[in-house]
Amino acid sequence: MLPSQTVENYLKTIHLAQAAQTSPSLVPMGQLAAALGVVPGTATTMMKALAESGLVHYEPYMGVRLTEAGQKLASLVLRRHRLIELFLVKVLGMSWAEVHDEAEQLEHAVSERLIERIDEMLGRPEVDPHGDPIPNAEGTILHEEHEDLLSAPLDTGLVITRVLDQDAGFLRFIEQRDLMPGSSIVIETRDAAADAVRLRSDDGRHTTIGTRAASKVLVRAKS
């Protein structure tokens, strides 16, 4: 089966669902169908076709996982998507909050030759504007362990590394509070009852966000 736009979307969606799991398991068909905006029967039909092509391991009534071949194809789609996002921000000056939808369209249209040229021009970047890792030309993704703002230590210098939610409204919310990747912060307090996480930036400014938003912002210890 040729990697059509539909196939690429399915593989990428499965990959992202697997990456969000805390332990390796099958991605439920209902979850996959909902993420793609299709009925479960449509998703099941596609999974059977992808299984026959050796791109997924499908267990009826249970779920699906990518095979090694499917994982590589999905990683290359992510590579195109994330390099396009970075190109749109760095070269064309677009907002990081608006490039996701543009990249969704362009990721299926650009050639690998053009993507390689973009990668070279941008200096072989490791992450996109949201801090998501960019797979290399072989489809390998650099995995690093990061904590979110709900689990990272208090009163410790931290650097924001990644924002997990690509929703434009959420990204604007994060940008308005200077919580973009690369920003240095300290978590002062966490109050689950008040649904509040209080943060302090390097210049002494304070901001408070809810716990749901805090769970979507990843950090590492400041070196």
CB-based contacts of 48: which residues, under 8 Å, 6+ apart? Answer: 58
Q: Is position 115 within any domain?
A: no
The percent of residues above 70 in pLDDT, for the chain, comes to 99
Q: Is position 22 within any domain?
A: yes
Which pLDDT does position 175 carry in this prediction?
94
Q: Is position 179 within any domain?
A: yes
CATH number of the structural domain spanning residue 19: 1.10.10.10
Q: Is position 112 within any domain?
A: no
Report the domain count for the chain: 2
Residue type at 61?
Answer: Y
Tell me the mean pLDDT in the region 83-98.
96
**Structure confidence at residue 141 as a pLDDT band (50, 70, 90):** confident
How much is the mean pLDDT over the chain? Answer: 93
Tens of pLDDT, residues 12-31: 999 999 988 877 889 999 99
**Structure confidence at residue 203 as a pLDDT band (50, 70, 90):** confident
Output 139 or 223, whichever has higher pLDDT.
139
Which pLDDT does position 88 carry in this prediction?
97
The residue whose two tokens read 């992510």 is: 78
List 197's β-bridge partners, or say none: 190, 209
Q: Is position 124 within any domain?
A: no
Tell me the mean pLDDT in the region 148-171.
95
Which pLDDT does position 174 carry in this prediction?
96
Which pLDDT does position 131 carry in this prediction?
95
Supply the angle between the helices 99-106 and 68-90 in degrees, to the nearest 10.
130
Rounded CA-CA distance 106/152 in Å is: 36
Which pLDDT does position 3 carry in this prediction?
66
The residue whose two tokens read 């990428």 is: 12
Q: Is position 89 within any domain?
A: no
**Structure confidence at residue 1 as a pLDDT band (50, 70, 90):** very low
CATH number of the structural domain spanning residue 177: 2.30.30.90
Rounded CA-CA distance 19/73 in Å is: 15
Rounded CA-CA distance 106/83 in Å is: 11
Residue 54 has pLDDT above 80, yes or no: yes
Which pLDDT does position 22 carry in this prediction?
75
Q: Is position 82 within any domain?
A: no
The residue whose two tokens read 């030309």 is: 137
Among 66, 88, 109, the domain-final residue is 66
Among 46, 66, 86, the domain-final residue is 66
Among 44, 66, 88, the domain-final residue is 66
Structural domain boundaries, residue 171: 147-221
Q: Is position 152 within any domain?
A: yes
- pTM here is 0.88
